């Protein structure tokens, strides 16, 4: 593989997005979502972005690298819906980051972020892409988790840890609890749409009801004993 030109951005989370990078990633996302991984080439990405193939190669180096950076860019939208800088997907529940936030405020803020991410981005289509491709290309699912869902879940776990330390939750396994809460929300607001369960989606409960019940259920299990501190 030939070396990249000196205008190539640094790899990983520290890379600086140029206007060309953003055009490439937007074009790549449109193509991957429409035609899956095998149906996309650097030539097609370049054509859709209005750039040369060499420019795409210089900026990213391979189709796999374009896909990985597209995944990273996709998950940055979660941070944006939490009021965080783009690219900082690990920071969640920013609306409830104050030291005096209650457990309910933290849970509702996080659930609202999950809801907005599903409603306002290509998350549903993106999840379908990952499900469709993961059997043939396991690294796609691994990157989807490593660059996005994993850090989001870990950061939410950290927030639950802070609530436990403050006496606002009584939760012996916050990693388990974090994923339980995500499941309570996503089982109704995300997965029926990912799997295209049309009737179930149409007949499902109102999203506000889903979030209310998820918060109530979680607190019924993990609220601290009476007299041990605020919940």
Residue 10: which pLDDT band, with cuts at 50, 70 and 90? very low
Q: Which stretch of DSSP H or E encloses residue 112?
A: helix 103-120
The distance in angstroms from the start CA to the end CA of the chain is 57
pLDDT of residue 84: 46
pLDDT digits (tens, 9 = 90+) for 62-81: 999 999 999 999 998 887 76
The Cα 159–Cα 133 span in angstroms is 32
Tokens of 205: 């409960």
Please choose, from the candidates 70, 33, 69, 63, the residue with its C-alpha nearest in 3D space to the C-alpha of residue 46: 63
3-class DSSP assignment, residue 16:
coil
**Quick check: 156 pLDDT over 90?**
yes
| Average pLDDT of the segment spanning 8-16 | 46
User: Could you give the C-alpha distances from 153 to 123, 146, 156, 160, 181, in angstroms and in order?
Assistant: 16, 11, 5, 11, 10
**Quick check: 137 pLDDT over 60?**
yes
**Quick check: 99 pLDDT over 70?**
no
pLDDT of residue 201: 66
pLDDT digits (tens, 9 = 90+) for 164-220: 999 999 999 999 999 999 999 999 888 788 887 777 667 778 999 999 999 999 999
Residue 133: which pLDDT band, with cuts at 50, 70 and 90? very high
pLDDT of residue 214: 97
Show the domains of the chain with their CATH numbers: 101-222 (1.10.357.10)
């Amino acid at each position: 593989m030939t070396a990249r030109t000196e205008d190539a951005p640094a790899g990983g989370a520290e890379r600086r997005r140029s206007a060309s990078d953003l055009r490439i990633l937007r074009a790549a996302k449109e193509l991957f979502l429409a035609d899956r991984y095998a149906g996309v080439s650097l030539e097609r990405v370049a054509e859709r972005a209005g750039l040369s193939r060499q420019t795409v190669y210089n900026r990213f180096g391979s189709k796999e690298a374009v896909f990985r950076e597209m995944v990273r860019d996709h998950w940055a939208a979660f941070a944006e819906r939490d009021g965080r800088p783009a690219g900082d997907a690990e920071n969640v529940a920013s609306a409830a980051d104050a030291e005096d936030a209650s457990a309910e405020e933290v849970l509702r803020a996080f659930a609202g972020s999950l809801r907005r991410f599903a409603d306002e981005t290509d998350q549903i289509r993106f999840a379908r892409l990952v499900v469709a491709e993961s059997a043939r290309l396991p690294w796609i699912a691994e990157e989807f988790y490593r660059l996005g869902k994993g850090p989001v879940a870990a950061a939410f776990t950290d927030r639950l840890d802070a609530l436990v330390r403050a006496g606002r939750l009584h939760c012996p396994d916050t990693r388990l609890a974090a994923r339980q809460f995500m499941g309570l929300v996503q089982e109704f607001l995300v997965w029926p749409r990912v799997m295209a369960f049309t009737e179930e989606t149409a007949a499902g409960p109102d999203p506000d009801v889903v979030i209310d019940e998820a918060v109530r259920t979680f607190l019924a299990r993990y609220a601290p004993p009476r007299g041990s501190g605020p919940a």
